[in-house]
Amino acid sequence: MIVEQLVEMKEVLSEEIKPGYCVVYEKFINNHVEVKKIGIKQGRFETSELLQVLRGDRSTGYSFQSIRDYTLEDDSLEGTLLKIKENHKELFRD
């Protein structure tokens, strides 16, 4: 079984994004765990990073809806942020 723990979360590009949208960075630790009669055995773990492009209005308390997720497996944080700027130009202030 894999247990996923959120260890870091922050909003990025907040000064550049139009109201009603946000981009959130999340870092997870994924633990591979086995349940045994004598307890839980934790095996290897790996980290994963994700950027989420979300739509919603925090002033009214509505939930955010995911527009697109970007996994940072093959690219750096900066490279992925550039992809978001290229692929979602409509979200950015003029």
Q: How far apart are CA 33 and CA 21, in angstroms?
A: 36
Q: Do residues 50 and 69 touch, judged by C-beta distance below 8 A? A: yes
Residue 64 confidence (pLDDT): 86
Global pTM reads: 0.79
Q: How far apart are CA 26 and CA 46, in angstroms?
A: 14
Burial of 29 (0-12, 13-18, 19+ CB in 10 A): middle
Side-chain-facing half-sphere of 40: CA atoms under 13 Å: 7
- Give domain limits for the chain: 2-91
Q: Token pair 């497996």 is at which residue?
A: 73
Give per-residue pLDDT as tens, 36-91. Answer: 777 766 677 788 899 999 998 766 666 888 999 999 977 788 999 999 999 999 99
